Amino acid sequence: MPARNEKEILITGFGGQGIVLTGSILGKAATLYDRRHATMTQSYGPEARGGSCSSQVIISEEEILFPYVEQPQVLICMSQEGYDKTKASLVPGGLLIWDTDLVTTRELEPSWTAYQIPATRFAEELGNKMMANIVMLGFLSAVSELVGVDSLRQAVQSSVPAKTRDTNAKAFERGREYGESLLKSRAKKDQGQEQA
């Protein structure tokens, strides 16, 4: 049972994707730039690469007492194993995001808001698939209001090596634009349905 006012976010994937960095950037945006409270914990196996790994972020207006995510309101999946293992924990009405090329979803809980984005493919197009996590963060900034978008931009910039700031900024905006256009087309579709 999450405490009042706490947002629980679970990010899953495999080692080497920058899953922990993703959680860290999100928590940093909330803590340092939004001036709220956040914790980020991680879980991973013994493998340096390829093992299942997750990062758990809690964002709150108040001090966070218990740092484990138990029933996430937001679930971001960057691996099939991560999705299969954790989807049941997503609360009714929760937000589900996955990487189109890495995860196959079947039946989704109807109350969930579900989005997919080919984050890894976009990152590859930008020159380095390692930036898929940053594309994902840009996307998250468009489809949720977890943290301020400028806070997230700042957190990305201050978390990546100086040499890669520009490409990471591009990756972030690529994800954000995709999210914005997805929202627009959904809105149109919804409108169309209403009119019909």
Partner 1 sequence: MAGKAVLTGTYFMNGDEACCEGALAVGCRFFAGYPITPATEVAERMSWRLPEVGGIYIQMEDELASMAAILGASWGGVKAMTSTSGPGFSLMMENIGLGLCTETPCVVCNVQRAGPSTGLPTLVAQGDMMQARWGAHGHYEIIAIVPSSPQEMFDFTIRAFNLSEQYRLPVLIMADEVVGHMNERVVIPPADQIQVVSRKKPSVPPDQYRPYQPGPDGVAPMADFGDGYHMHVTGLTHDERGYPVMDAATQEQMINRIVSKIRDHAHQIISYDAIAMDDAEAAVVAYGISVRSARRAVAEARGRGIRAGLIKLNTVWPFPEEMIRDLAGRVRALVMPEINLGQMVRELERAAAGRCRVRLVPHAGGSIIRPGAIVQAVESALKEA
Partner 2 sequence: MSTKKKKPDAPHPHDELLRTDRMPHIWCTGCGIGTVFSCVLSAVEKSGTPLDDVAMVSGIGCTGRMAGYLKLDSFHTTHGRAIPFATGLKLARPQGCVIVASGDGDLLAIGGNHFIHAARRNLDLTVICVNNFNYGMTGGQLAPSTPFGARTTTSTQGCSEEPFNFCALAAACGAVYVARWTSLHIRRLTTSIGEAMNKRGFSFVEVLTPCPTSFGRHNKMRKPLELLKFYHERSVIRNYIDPKDAVLDFKKNLVVGKFVDIERPTFLDNYRLLNRGELGDWPDLEPKLPRPEKQASG
Q: Is 28 in the site for partner 2 (CB under 8 A)?
A: yes
The backbone torsions φ and ψ at residue 126, rounded to the nearest 5 degrees and listed phi first, read: -85, 0
Binds 18: which of partner 1, partner 2, none (CB < 5-8 Å by kind): partner 2
Each residue 100-129 as x (binds partner 2 by CB under 8 A) or -, in order, gives ----------------------------x-
Which residues in 55-84 contact partner 1 (CB under 8 A)? 64-68, 70
For partner 2, the closer of residues 23 and 72 by Cβ is 23
Which lies closer to partner 1 via its Cβ, residue 47 or residue 190?
47
# chain residues binding partner 1, by CB under 8 A: 24
17, 22, 39, 151: residue in contact with partner 1 (rule CB under 8 A): 39
- Give CA separation, 29 vs 58, 97, 109, 128, 182, in Å: 12, 19, 30, 23, 24
Which option in partner 2, partner 1, none does residue 160 bind, with CB closer than 5 to 8 A by kind?
partner 2
90-107: b (≥16 Cβ within 10 Å) or e: bbeebbbbbbeebbebee
**Among the listed residues 8, 81, 84, 95, the one whose alpha carbon sits nearest the alpha carbon of residue 44:** 81
Do 99 and 108 touch, CB atoms closer than 8 A? Answer: no
Is the separation of the CB atoms in 144 and 95 below 8 Å?
yes
Q: How far is CA 172 from CA 68, 75, 126, 133, in A?
A: 27, 19, 11, 9
Q: Is 130 in the site for partner 2 (CB under 8 A)?
A: yes
Residues 6 or more apart in contact with residue 12 via CB below 8 angstroms: 19, 52, 53, 54, 75, 76, 77, 78, 79, 81, 82, 83, 85, 86
What is the Cα–Cα distance from 92 to 194, expressed in whole angstroms?
A: 24
Residue 23 interacting partner from partner 1, partner 2, none (CB closer than 5 to 8 Å by kind): partner 1
How many amino acids of this chain bind partner 2 (CB under 8 A)? 15
Q: Does 161 help bind partner 2 (rule: CB under 8 A)?
A: yes
* Min separation Cβ 170 and partner 2, Å: 13
Q: Rounded to the nearest whole angstrom, what is the least distance from the CB of residue 106 to partner 2 in the complex?
A: 34
- Applying CB under 8 A, the residues found at the interface with partner 2 are 18, 20-21, 24, 28, 32, 128, 130, 158-161, 163-164, 167
- Applying CB under 8 A, the residues found at the interface with partner 1 are 1, 3, 23-24, 27-28, 31-32, 37-46, 64-68, 70
